[in-house]
Amino acid sequence: MIQKSPQNTSRYFWTEHVKFKIRFYGLSEQKVLGVISRPQRKEEGIVEKTIAVMKPVSPKIINGKEVWKQEIWVMYQKHKACSMKPTCTKAPAGKHIAKNSNTKYQILNTKYKIISAWRYPGVSPQKNPIPEEILRELLENL
C-alpha cells in the first residue's frame, strides 16, 4: 500500500524532514496530529522555540501502573497567523486578534510547523527525549 504524504493546510505546515520520517517510521498524518492534539507529555524542544510532545503506543495497565514499550514523539513550532492586515494586537484574554477594515476584531488561529516525528523504543527519560541521530539530522538541515 502506498502511503499518502501529508499536505500543507492553512493550519499545518509539514517540512520535508517530517514527511521523510513519517514514511521511515510508518506513521500516518492522523497519528502525528493526534500526538499534537492529545499528548501525554510535553517538553521544550532541543531546537530553539520548539515543543516536543509524546504519546505512548499501546499503553497497558499492569499492577495499577500504565506501561508501554514504544513512544511516538513530534517536534513542532507554534505561530500566530495574522491574516488580516495591517494591524495585529494582543487581546485582553491573551488571544491574538487582528483588526479589519470594518474595525471589527477576528480571533486568529494558531499555525503549526511540524518539524520532525519519530518512534522511541521503550520509555524515554524525562528532559531531552530526542535521540542523537535525530538531533544530528535536524541540526544538519537547519
In a domain, 132, yes or no: yes
pLDDT at 46: 82
Domain assignment of residue 27, yes or no: yes
Q: 119 lies in which domain range?
A: 12-81+110-141
In this prediction, residues 19-36 reach a mean pLDDT of: 95
Within-domain flag for 37: yes
Does 43 reside within a domain? yes
* Cα-based distances in Å from 93 to 79, 80, 86: 17, 15, 21
Looking at the 3D structure of the chain, how many domains does it have? 1
Global confidence as pTM:
0.71
- Asked if residue 86 is part of any domain, the answer here is no
pLDDT digits (tens, 9 = 90+) for 66-125: 999 999 999 999 987 655 544 555 554 445 555 554 545 555 678 999 999 999 998 888
Q: What's the chain's length in residues?
A: 142
Residue 134: the pLDDT is 77
Return the pLDDT at 90.
52
Q: pLDDT of 57-74, one tens digit each? A: 999 999 999 999 999 999
Give the separation between CA 48 and CA 54, rounded to whole angstroms: 18
Query: Is-contact 100 107, C-beta < 8 A?
Result: no
Within a domain: 99: no
